[in-house]
Amino acid sequence: MSGFTPPRALDRSETSRLLASSETHAFTLLTIALFQYGQETFEIDALELYARLHDDFGTTISQTGENRIQAILTAMTNDEVLEIPGVFDTVCKAITDGDPDLEHPDSVLDLDEMLWATFQMRLARGSDTPLEFGPMVEQYQHQIEQDNETQAEDELTYIIETLNEFRLELEEQLRAVGFEQVSVPDVL
């Protein structure tokens, strides 16, 4: 992965802690799986992946973590995320909150959720590659941005600060499992 120096092995204790935590970012969970299993991460079903992680690290992945890793894997392997607003919405919610919010499909993404989820998708797909959204998802994103244009400047500042905090947390999580020289690009 560019921007990361991989470890010889993942730190078992820290990896176990992060797998069990509901606060672990989707990209961290994906990185753990890809380091541990490589391309096979994409070839096995989700339950097998969770079972292997449990066996290898002696912990159960939190439900939030399961939802996050499944969502980011979907974002990497299914172009419907880029084309269909409902799929985009569900995947973004699962990446950020660990809850796809299937019970409330009419609830709209918050701007910070959309930005943080698409940032992690971009990292997962390769940060040098821009995400190419279809026209319906672009229209949905534009609607979210317009809905947030009326926010007060202090609310927008808060969103930017939150996104920067998330980026720093992501770097800390990657370092904790053993990656060195972690350099995550700015979100915006």
42-78, pLDDT tens digit by residue?
Answer: 999 999 999 999 999 999 999 999 999 999 999 999 9
Q: In whole angstroms, what is the distance from residue 94 CA to residue 64 CA?
A: 8
Residue 99 Cα distances to 45, 67, 102, 117, 180, angstroms: 19, 6, 8, 13, 30
CA distance 179 to 155: 34
To the nearest 10 degrees (0 to 180), the angle between helices 153-177 and 26-37 is 20
pLDDT band at 25 (very low <50, low <70, confident <90, very high): very high
Confidence of residue 2 (pLDDT cuts 50, 70, 90): very low
Residues 104-156: tens digit of each pLDDT: 666 778 889 999 999 999 999 886 778 899 999 999 999 888 877 766 667 77
Contact 140/85 with Cβ under 8 angstroms? yes
Three-state DSSP state, 5? strand
Q: pTM value?
A: 0.91
Instruction: Please say whether the beta carbons of 74 and 81 come within 8 A.
Output: yes
CA-nearest of 22, 101, 94, 18 to 62 is 22
